[in-house]
Structure 1
């Protein structure tokens, strides 16, 4: 084939394989030296062509990588970060979980900034105070804490931080009365691509899509749904001229700041949570929003498989379902899945399953409790979000 059929063509980028390179070089050699030239693999010219074809194949591979690095669906790693700059978003770095710890000890004892506490697990999950404090006369003080390591795995449930790393004889006990939150792994390529698509309207001014996109920029946010009342009357419980952002994940103060900076002037906010944030003039503003109620989704899958079904096919099916609905897979990866208020569509689950090789037939039932028997879509209210996990997905073979 002619060289002009490779490279950037009408269909995109067509990469030349090593076999094509070798064939073109041998054809050229015959044109130069005659058809009787010795091009066998062990001949001097044959060996030279083989060596050069391997090197040129690597060049073509690099060219394909450069071409693909410019596009959202094919760029990876740092190249994908550069694609994010097209619309002004950056990959979310790993974030440390935060919370509060209640210390009990001798009154007037100073607990310094950086005082470390931990769980009693192996390995320990270590937190440290982010400011100093003095134990009050009642023998207690509550101080803000932050995980020493970043990532989702360093969030802890309530009353798990009970040990001292650097103990003091005048500090007797410690615990966290509430779970810690805000821990986040570095955003994966898959998660970044999904957020990119959600953030296309980030540059818009004060629109619902722009507000949603701004909230998605907050570390730890997985899903956002925004209700709007543009009338002068109370509508569906919303005050006149107001919005209610229903947000899954993310720190409350950061969410409030994102709403303040993206909403239109004069528009009120509604919701069960209220935080005080500062505007550019340094004035304190109260911003309200809500958290969604989690709706557990159970999925039973019965498969009729062929010999080409992968060894880890059941795990792939499970992961495909979790990716679509949303939740945490067996590797600890959290997938955004469906949005707040978005229904779970039965046929979409089947479609995701059939993307895996070797499945001849699949029967899928879904529901909001164990042993599901439904095949109808599951409606999700505007203040709720569908979630599933490994324990809620059951895959068997017919």
Structure 2
């Protein structure tokens, strides 16, 4: 039913009560509508299917609002605002390959990590006089799991005599999972808050809409002197993830004319009049958080308790969980507060006591907060979390 407070659906029991009242109104107060009578059985069948219809009505009603819609309905809201959901995407990386001088490496040559994450080359390359070639490759599958760290792609999938070794000197980037309803909804809400260009909110919103970008920070220097390393009257945009060209193009289309940009990454944009404009911005790196957790547990601790604990911590900090689902977690330059980890630990049944040590260096773990390094975002992984259980 609709009223000034919105929609209130009728439940199965409410429908049955109303149908029994109507039956007694039509057939008399002494009509028997109990569950074992023919009329009672019919009323209960109709009430059951009507309750399902009311549930559908409720879903249709709430799908009209961004904050309560989900799935394809949420995609429709994004389509109306020209903000599509980010689809899953492959990761890209440059491979340093050594072998016989003059050997031609063909397109589609496969290389992989020790754990079996495969990449294939998308261009031909001829090994130079030193027997070295740098070639671009993309991941065979899609998803954030393919954003492997530097020095991890070391296996030649199909070994041949002319190739000696392969390595990625930098981490693979650009791989993303399909955007979740929660992340997509938050992005659509941000888009509503920043409709115009040339504002800080607009820059954050529109750069966040670039496929693969998971976090954005905008630093503006409106003064006539250098401030925090930013030249006068310029803006520094710091982004996590995404393709450099896509980010540069979006910045060019968003900032006002005459606004200076600063950063280590350069993009040359071409205006409608054919003139070239240099756009500069910064790309943040990811820093892996290592931790060692020792717990005392009771017999209530579940068999998959360690996995659940690791997944909960990853969801809080950020990274790929045991189901290879990527979580954004902490924001850009956000501090990892040490004491907040205990909530993720004690939410697992059977945990009686715990000690936690964390750090950016696996050999130097402490019981203190971690400040995100400059231009970096903190993440963790299943392998980086060690959990030791002492049963009581």
Q: Bin the TM-score by the shorter chain.
A: 0.7 to 0.9
Residue 160 of structure 1 corresponds to 153
CA deviation vs aligned residue, 1:274-328 (integer Å, no higher than 9, x gap)? 22333344636342324257485979899999x9x99988877765665454444
Residue 284 of structure 2 corresponds to 291
Q: TM-score, normalised by structure 1?
A: 0.78
Structure 2 contact 334–377 (Cα < 8 Å) conserved: yes
Counterpart CA distance in 2 for 1:175 and 1:351 is 42
Structure 1 contact 118–163 (Cα < 8 Å) conserved: yes
Q: CA deviation at 1:349?
A: 7.4
- Any stretches of 5+ residues in structure 2 without a counterpart? none
Counterpart CA distance in 1 for 2:38 and 2:26 is 16
Structure 2 contact 114–155 (Cα < 8 Å) conserved: no
Q: CA deviation at 1:247?
A: 2.1
Structure 1 contact 199–216 (Cα < 8 Å) conserved: no
Residue 337 of structure 1 corresponds to 329
2:3 paired residue among 9, 25, 30: 9
Residue 118 of structure 1 corresponds to 111
1:95 aligns with 2:89: yes
Q: Size of the alignment, in residue pairs? A: 381
Q: CA deviation at 1:131?
A: 2.3
CA deviation vs aligned residue, 1:229-278 (integer Å, no higher than 9, x gap)? 1122212221111111222222333332332222222222222x222333
Structure 1 contact 300–371 (Cα < 8 Å) conserved: no
Counterpart CA distance in 1 for 2:98 and 2:42 is 78
1:185 aligns with 2:177: yes
1:140 aligns with 2:132: yes
Q: In structure 2, the residue corresponding to 1:73 is in which secondary structure?
A: coil
1:50 aligns with 2:44: yes
Structure 2 contact 244–267 (Cα < 8 Å) conserved: no
After TM superposition, the structure 1 = structure 2 runs for residues 294-305 of structure 1, keeping only pairs within 5 Å, are 294=287, 296=289
CA deviation vs aligned residue, 1:170-227 (integer Å, no higher than 9, x gap)? x423513323221111111122123333433453211111111122122332222111
Distance verdict in 2 for CA 1:288–1:150, change over 3 Å: same
1:372 paired residue among 355, 367, 370: 367
Structure 1 contact 350–362 (Cα < 8 Å) conserved: no
After TM superposition, the structure 1 = structure 2 runs for residues 355-394 of structure 1, keeping only pairs within 5 Å, are 370=365, 372=367, 383-387=375-379
- Which segment drifts farther, 65-74 or 152-161? 152-161
Distance verdict in 2 for CA 1:147–1:105, change over 3 Å: same
Counterpart CA distance in 2 for 1:200 and 1:350 is 36
After TM superposition, the structure 1 = structure 2 runs for residues 233-244 of structure 1, keeping only pairs within 5 Å, are 233-244=225-236
- Superposition RMSD on alpha carbons, in Å? 4.0
Structure 2 contact 220–235 (Cα < 8 Å) conserved: yes
Q: In structure 2, the residue corresponding to 1:119 is in which secondary structure?
A: strand
Residue 4 of structure 1 corresponds to none
Q: CA deviation at 1:393?
A: 9.4
Distance verdict in 2 for CA 1:185–1:290, change over 3 Å: closer
Residue 41 of structure 1 corresponds to 35
Distance verdict in 2 for CA 1:351–1:126, change over 3 Å: closer
Counterpart CA distance in 1 for 2:320 and 2:344 is 17
Residue 222 of structure 1 corresponds to 214
1:232 paired residue among 201, 224, 228: 224
Counterpart CA distance in 1 for 2:4 and 2:344 is 30
Distance verdict in 2 for CA 1:319–1:301, change over 3 Å: farther
Structure 2 contact 233–260 (Cα < 8 Å) conserved: yes
Structure 2 contact 213–241 (Cα < 8 Å) conserved: yes
Counterpart CA distance in 1 for 2:344 and 2:189 is 19
Counterpart CA distance in 2 for 1:140 and 1:300 is 43
Q: CA deviation at 1:336?
A: 2.2
